[in-house]
């Protein structure tokens, strides 16, 4: 049979295979990993050496917290292409996540490899932001006796600053916060807001104020971010601070009601938590009947809501 005839026979199969891969990519980008996975696996059966497919399957395993499977996909990729920064970064990352879930004695045996692959990713790609963030966290969280180093963490934070000034300030703020240098952390986060001004920069400063028992300052930062960015999540954040610290009850109530009214799945926090916070605020105000209405609403949405059950006991005791 002429060669052209073989091509014509195989063409429909090749096109179907390619369509499956493209559909799998689309599902992956939509974060529909359980649907993308079998399509990638089918494509890999037909193209067992395809690196992109193996990388996608490693990514899916990582999202599913199946660290061993992710390692099985990434390790050969690193061996096949030692100059690929992303392969090193992903391989180091899943080894790091696996190390968190095993005994400390076994985890120590992973440290050298994790460090090597993160540093190799940073060396291979001078603009690899994620690898440098990983190294900041690696060196600041690791005890000094087994290789931790604030000096090295700062080195990579400063490298981040050359690539992205806002990331540099956030990374240095993170290091200062971890090392209990509260004022330095505050200043770095403020600089991140000045340079970037994104919702994330405001969030980091507000979180820092909460952690250091400065709820008024946290509420002010969250309120300013809400004025600028109009993100519904901030309504909940303000309401939560109001409820927890018994601050500015009317602002807290208004923000939580706005959160409920404008709620969507992308906001992250379910509405039952907003009902719970409203109950807390009304309890703080001594308005028992209204507090009970809101806590019962939270429990109606989620009967096994443990925090709400405890809060109801406190409200009934008023």
Domains of the chain, first to last: 10-125 (1.25.40.10), 231-318 (1.25.40.10)
**Residue 5 in this model has a pLDDT that exceeds 80:** no
CA-nearest of 4, 73, 7, 14 to 46 is: 14
Percent of the chain with pLDDT over 90: 84
* pLDDT tens string 156-181: 999 999 999 999 999 999 999 999 99
**With 80 as the cut, is the pLDDT of residue 3 above it?**
no
Q: CA-to-CA distance for 33 and 27, rounded, in angstroms?
A: 7
Task: Flag whether pLDDT at 2 surpasses 70.
Answer: no
Q: How many residues does the chain have?
A: 318
Residue 251 confidence (pLDDT) above 80: yes
Alpha-carbon distance 129 to 27, whole Å?
26
DSSP letters for 268-296: -S-HHHHHHHHHHHHHHTT-HHHHHHHHH
List alpha helices for the chain, DSSP H.
3-29, 33-46, 51-63, 67-80, 85-100, 104-124, 129-141, 150-163, 165-178, 182-195, 199-211, 215-229, 232-245, 249-261, 271-284, 288-301, 306-316
Q: For tokens 């959160």, what's the residue?
A: 259
- pLDDT for 4 beyond 80: no
Reported as a single tens digit per residue, the pLDDT across 101-123 is 888 888 889 999 999 999 999 99
């Amino acid at each position: 049979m002429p060669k052209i005839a073989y091509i014509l026979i195989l063409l429909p199969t090749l096109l179907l295979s390619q369509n499956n891969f493209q559909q799998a990519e689309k599902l992956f980008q939509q974060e529909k990993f359980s649907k993308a996975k079998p399509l990638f696996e089918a494509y890999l059966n037909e193209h067992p050496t395809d690196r992109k497919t193996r990388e996608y399957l490693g990514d899916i395993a990582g999202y599913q917290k199946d660290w061993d499977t992710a390692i099985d996909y990434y390790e050969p990729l690193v061996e096949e292409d030692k100059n690929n920064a992303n392969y090193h970064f992903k391989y180091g990352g899943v080894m790091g996540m696996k190390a968190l879930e095993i005994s400390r004695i076994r985890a120590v045996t992973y440290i050298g490899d994790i460090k090597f692959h993160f540093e190799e990713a940073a060396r291979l790609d001078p603009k690899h932001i994620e690898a440098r963030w990983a190294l900041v966290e690696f060196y600041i969280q690791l005890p000094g006796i087994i290789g931790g180093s604030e000096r090295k963490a700062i080195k990579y934070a400063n490298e981040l600053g050359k690539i992205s000034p806002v990331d540099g300030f956030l990374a240095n703020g993170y290091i200062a916060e971890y090392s209990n240098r509260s004022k330095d952390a505050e200043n770095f986060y403020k600089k991140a807001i000045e340079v970037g001004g994104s919702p994330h920069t405001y969030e980091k400063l507000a979180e820092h104020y909460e952690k250091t028992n400065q709820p008024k300052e946290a509420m002010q930062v969250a309120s300013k971010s809400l004025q600028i960015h109009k993100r519904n999540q901030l309504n909940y954040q303000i309401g939560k601070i109001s409820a927890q610290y018994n601050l500015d009850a009317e602002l807290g109530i208004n923000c939580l009601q706005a959160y409920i009214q404008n709620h969507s799945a992308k906001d992250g926090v379910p509405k039952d938590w907003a009902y719970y916070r409203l109950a807390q605020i009304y309890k703080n105000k001594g308005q028992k009947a209204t507090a009970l209405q809101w806590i019962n609403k939270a429990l109606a949405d989620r009967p096994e809501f443990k925090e709400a059950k405890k809060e109801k006991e406190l409200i009934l005791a008023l």
